[in-house]
């Protein structure tokens, strides 16, 4: 691949993905609001730029990984409104399908090919480049960026037109975030009744409740590592946001999602209790305090 790559957003998800691209030897220019991750990427050989427009001017293919719709729309406006634009714009953020399609329209109006390409995976998958990558957009655009996607993902799917990747990611998040909460509740129930957390985990993992969420919840219950995090890999408020996207999409297509709605109410309650910027597993503390 000879394209120059640009990267905007070096947060909990964007930084390890961009690092894998840099280690892959591709020409890379990055920017972020914080200097620390930019310096880390520069140490891996990436060039640093002051803002999104400067990154766009330095690349043919631009990847964007941001925490919410407002940030994504602001970056898109800056890029599409600049004189020097990339040829391909890849939105990695978790946004609604309608937002993705609106961004695609803006891109098309300026002659830029747009793909939505949200990703999913734990910290290990981010670091090792084995994320699940869900892409919507033109087949030619997908093939053009495939070499980059293979550096960040072990499972790469082209699902159809723009918005298809977003639908897959939102469906995945509904399952993951409701399952995560029930795993925590189930473990806490057994622990409160006197069972050892590790023993209970081992039992469940041989039974019908087995899931990665059970392993994660048991590990976090024992170590409480999330309490030490000053820069969360996944802030709790993002769980609330992602479930809101699922509920909005369900409403649009007329699907009742009572379990997701109940889970969303609890994630929102934890955020209102001051845990919004805490690591997502801080929900354990919140659930333990509820009566």
φ/ψ of 262, rounded to 5, equals -65, -40
Q: Report the alpha-carbon distance of residue 276 to residue 1 in Å, rounded.
A: 40
Q: Is 83 exposed, middle or buried (0-12, 13-18, 19+ CB in 10 A)?
A: exposed
φ/ψ of 54, rounded to 5, equals -70, -40
H or E segment to which residue 161 belongs: none
Q: What is the CA radius of gyration of the chain?
A: 20
Contact 64, 75 (CB under 8 A): yes
169 is catalytic: yes
Q: Report the alpha-carbon distance of residue 164 to residue 159 in Å, rounded.
A: 6
Task: Determine which one of 85, 169, 264, 286 is catalytic.
Answer: 169
Q: Report the alpha-carbon distance of residue 164 to residue 186 in Å, rounded.
A: 33
Cα four-point dihedral sign 111, 113, 118, 124: negative
Contact 63, 90 (CB under 8 A): yes
Q: Report the alpha-carbon distance of residue 215 to residue 169 in Å, rounded.
A: 22
Active-site residues: which are they?
169
């Amino acid at each position: 691949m000879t394209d120059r790559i640009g990267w905007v957003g070096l947060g909990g998800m964007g930084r390890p993905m961009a690092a894998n691209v840099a280690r892959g030897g591709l020409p890379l220019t990055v920017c972020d609001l914080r200097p620390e991750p930019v310096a880390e990427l520069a140490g891996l050989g990436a060039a640093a730029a002051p803002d999104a427009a400067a990154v766009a001017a330095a690349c043919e293919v631009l990847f964007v990984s941001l925490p919410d719709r407002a940030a994504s729309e602001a970056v898109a406006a800056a890029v599409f409104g600049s004189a020097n634009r990339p040829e391909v714009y890849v939105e990695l953020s978790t946004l609604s399908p309608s937002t993705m399609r609106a961004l695609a329209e803006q891109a098309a109006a300026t002659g830029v090919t747009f793909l939505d390409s949200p990703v999913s995976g734990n910290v290990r998958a981010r670091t090792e480049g084995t994320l699940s990558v869900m892409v919507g957009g033109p087949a030619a655009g997908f093939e053009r960026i495939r070499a980059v996607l293979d550096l960040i993902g072990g499972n790469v799917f082209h699902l159809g037109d723009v918005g298809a990747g977003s639908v897959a990611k939102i469906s995945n998040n509904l399952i993951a975030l409701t399952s995560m909460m029930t795993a925590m509740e189930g473990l806490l129930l057994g622990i409160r009744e006197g069972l050892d957390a590790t023993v209970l985990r081992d039992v469940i993992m041989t039974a019908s409740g087995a899931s990665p969420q059970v392993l994660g919840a048991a590990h976090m219950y024992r170590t409480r590592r999330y309490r030490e995090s000053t820069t969360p890999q996944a802030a709790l408020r993002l769980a609330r946001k992602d479930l809101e996207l699922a509920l909005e999409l369900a409403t649009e297509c007329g699907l009742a999602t009572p379990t997701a709605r109940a889970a969303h109410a609890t994630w929102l309650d934890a955020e209102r209790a001051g845990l919004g910027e805490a690591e997502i597993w801080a929900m354990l503390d919140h659930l333990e305090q509820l009566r």
